[in-house]
Structure 1
Amino acid sequence: MTRSPATPLPSPEERRRLRESRSLTQAQLAKRIGVSRETVRAWESGRSTPRGRKREMYAELLTATTAPAPTGRSERPGRPGRPLERPDRSAHSAHSEYSEHPEGALAPSGQEDGGPSALTPAQAFDALYSFCAPALVRQAYLLSGRRGLARESVERAFQLAWDRWPEVARDRDPAGWVRAAAYEWALSPWHRFRPRHRRPEPVPAEPSDRELLDVLLHLPPPYRRTLVLYDGVGLGLPETAAETEASTRAAANRLLHAHEIVADRLPELSDPRVLHERLAELASSEHLRSAKPPEVRGGSERRARFRTRAVVAFTAALIGATALTLATAPTRYDPPPPPGETVRGVPLQMAPGPLSDTERKLRNKLRKELQHGPQRLAPQPW
């Protein structure tokens, strides 16, 4: 009786790449096999190797849908990929499949304008939203720590993109344009004054996820954004500096300080690769869902109609107020009465009070003259 050979497995680094090519986290893969997340982490680090039925299931899950290794992007040795975005294609390559159509639509590259595969602006917007929205919701959750705010930030960013769709469609990186808008809304300091944001947010179920989220939320917003872009999304340092509107030196200093704070609170995350994995697991553990593309486009159009009506109503009110002012305004100028002047010889009117000696003498004199004055004249008959 001969023993069947063990199922071949790829190298540990290849195992991690194959798992990420299927958009699976370590927790999701462990749940499918029936093991813990620490076991999958040990398999990918090479510390242990699965055996028996679990080895066959692990190999089957890794090789069921394989994707080629990402090419055309230079990365440093040991630089993590993109855990919070779809690893099989980047946003720039997704947008580069379309070329601008003369009539405002987007048609696939290499096809004649107006062909059967031409995309309308709504279809192109829906394609961009379907590709970017799920990952952006997870990234916004890492920045804000609030599920509702994460969904709201992505919806507002795409509504703004739909309002400016010709500009966004011609942008070299439309996904980056929307991501920057979503980050700005998620990190806005004015959310703290909203009543619903004063209530505490339910914390993650896993203790390790709670600790990591607490460390992220205690980082300054610029440090948090740089850390998510560099270690979470997988952008290079120049791209991270450009998206955060900072110099490369400033972005590097923010990243170093953020790594020091995270390593001081959680020493096991001092390795960038481990931090990369933990950010992906934390973002994927909440199962955040985004709205449908038609709902986002409809919300943008309703907002645009509301703004238009508000501007029309304000203009009408301003015109009415101007017309009322012109109708009720006086047509001639009436100068105000001049102030009073002092007349020589007439004493000033004084407030009630005791009389002086001169005033008392004058009063007594007037009283005597009134009593013993001249007789009244009366007419006499002829």
Structure 2
Amino acid sequence: MSRSTADSASSVPLPAPKERRRLREALALSEEQVAEAMGVTKATVRSWETGRSAPRGRKREAYAKLLGTPGPADPVRPEAEPRAEAEPVWSQPQAQPHPQQQPQSSASGSVRPRAAAKRAAKPPRAPSPAPAISPGPARKGPAKPPERLKPVAAEAPAEPAVPAGPPALTPEEAFDALYAHAASGLVHQTYLLTGRRGLSREAVEYAFHHAWQHWPEVAVDADPAGWVRAAAYEYALSPWHRFRRAHRHPDAPPAEADRRALLGALLELPPPYRRTVLLYDGLGLDLPETAAETEASTPAAANRLLHARTVLGERIPELAEPEALHRCLSALVAEAPTAKLPPARAVRTGSERRARSWTRAVLGMTAVLIVMTGFTAATAPTRYIPVNAPGEAVNGVPVRGGPQKLSPEDVELRDKLRSEPNPGPERLVPAVG
């Protein structure tokens, strides 16, 4: 493959990670079937759908064709292009193309999932141009050569005036806008997940530290607030916090009876179920997006949601209906947060300071290992010389073991027994008549 071909294959646009999962499920394809069609493992397909990695080269082009995304050889008609939705000003995401053609699903019964995946992975054939058919009768004899036209300078169409948009934000300003928009709400949501106010603030600060360190990736993400939310949830629900004395037990429950009952019922759920019901019923995400953020399949997320609703309905009968639970959780999530957070500038400087500290620590440990390895290589012997140790007297020899020495009586008895021809009791010896 030439360099130009590789560059064109690497520039094939792909949908957003959550959109990739939705398109695969619309095709009724499992992760195993996509992995078999692409020649990769199931874990690789899951990484593509969660946004941790992306295919490259020919696999990227084949994956785009499998999902139904038009490649570089498939021109997109202007009327088929979707209208770009307004994005938040802090994200500045790249435009993600939507699929032009919807592939056939297996619900029609005409295409099997595996056959559809393999056929979609193959490069399409270029359509042959249809011959032009003249409506009139054919002329006899040689055709008259066309007249040579003089070149005429084509007038360039006047470009419409584009209104000047808002000036582009710097990375610091975009980060500050995202922090001001989502930080306080994330602290409140994390408190509903953990029941610990200190841990919720710590998790949100960690998530924004992590986001600033990976800001080029976060800035082009389709949902930067969701990126930070996933990082905060992962940190807050880590099982290692139970070994910390400050976060071993939850805080005092709220004074309101209904909020105390709901928060207690939420904390009794396992962390994956708690996170699923909060994302679906509290934040209003759809089921594929909830499954993608929790790194689970859509059926697994649906089962978790049903189990969580059942447990919450048993604990609080007023929330047995899904609509009542949705209204209650939505109102609880939408409450005005009261947490006090450091300013965005302090978060950015703290993230940079932390990154520098870790970099220095890693460089120091690497330098120590290099010095120790070099010292060992310089002082190690090149050949083995056996050492002949001189003989030494050994003290404390134990007493000789074995049977003890016979006394004179024992020696006499032994000789007597050996001298008699018929050993044994005399009453058993036959008398000679």
Q: Which TM-score bucket, shorter chain as reference?
A: 0.5 to 0.7
Tell me if 1:94 matches 2:56. Answer: no
Secondary structure of 2:251's counterpart equals: coil
Tell me if 1:275 matches 2:322. Answer: no
Tell me if 1:187 matches 2:237. Answer: yes
Q: Classify 1:138/1:92 alpha carbon distance in 2 versus 1 (closer, same or farther; 3 Å).
A: farther
Q: Classify 1:352/1:96 alpha carbon distance in 2 versus 1 (closer, same or farther; 3 Å).
A: closer
Hey, what does 1:312 align to over in structure 2? 363
In the alignment, residue 282 of structure 2 is paired with which amino acid?
A: G
In the alignment, residue 358 of structure 2 is paired with which amino acid?
A: R
Aligned partners of 2:90 and 2:219 also within 8 Å: no
Secondary structure of 1:204's counterpart equals: coil
Aligned partners of 2:194 and 2:250 also within 8 Å: no
Tell me if 1:223 matches 2:262. Answer: no
- Higher percent of residues as helix: 1
Secondary structure of 2:328's counterpart equals: helix
In the alignment, residue 233 of structure 1 is paired with which amino acid?
A: L
In the alignment, residue 253 of structure 2 is paired with which amino acid?
A: V
Q: 2:300 aligned to 234, 237, 250, which one?
A: 250
Q: 1:212 aligned to 256, 262, 268, which one?
A: 262
Alpha-carbon displacement from aligned partner over 1:124-158 (angstroms, at most 9, x marks no partner): 11111111112211111111111111111111111
Aligned partners of 1:159 and 1:297 also within 8 Å: yes
Name the CA distance, whole Å, in 1 between partners of 2:350 and 2:163.
33
Q: Which runs of 5+ in 2 are unaligned?
A: 1-84, 95-161, 392-396, 406-433
Tell me if 1:353 matches 2:400. Answer: yes
Q: Which residues of 2 match residues 43-192 of structure 1 at below 5 A?
A: 93-94=87-88, 98=92, 117-192=167-242
Hey, what does 1:262 align to over in structure 2? 312
CA-based RMSD of the aligned residues comes to 3.2
Aligned partners of 1:204 and 1:286 also within 8 Å: no
Query: How big is the shift at 1:278?
Result: 2.7
Hey, what does 1:324 align to over in structure 2? 375
Name the CA distance, whole Å, in 2 between partners of 1:226 and 1:254.
7
Q: Which runs of 5+ in 1 are unaligned?
A: 1-90, 101-109, 341-349, 359-382
Q: Which has the higher contact order (CA 8 A, sep 6+)?
A: 1
Aligned partners of 1:95 and 1:174 also within 8 Å: no
Name the CA distance, whole Å, in 1 between partners of 2:340 and 2:378.
58
Query: How big is the shift at 1:325?
Result: 1.9
Q: 1:294 aligned to 345, 363, 373, which one?
A: 345
Q: Which deviates more, 288-297 or 269-278? A: 269-278
Name the CA distance, whole Å, in 2 between partners of 1:311 and 1:322.
16
Aligned partners of 1:125 and 1:162 also within 8 Å: yes
Q: Classify 1:93/1:328 alpha carbon distance in 2 versus 1 (closer, same or farther; 3 Å).
A: same
Query: How big is the shift at 1:97?
Result: 7.1
Query: How big is the shift at 1:332?
Result: 4.2
Normalized against structure 2, the TM-score is what?
Answer: 0.52
Query: How big is the shift at 1:237?
Result: 1.2
Aligned partners of 1:143 and 1:225 also within 8 Å: yes
Q: Would you say how many aligned residue pairs link Structure 1 and Structure 2?
A: 249
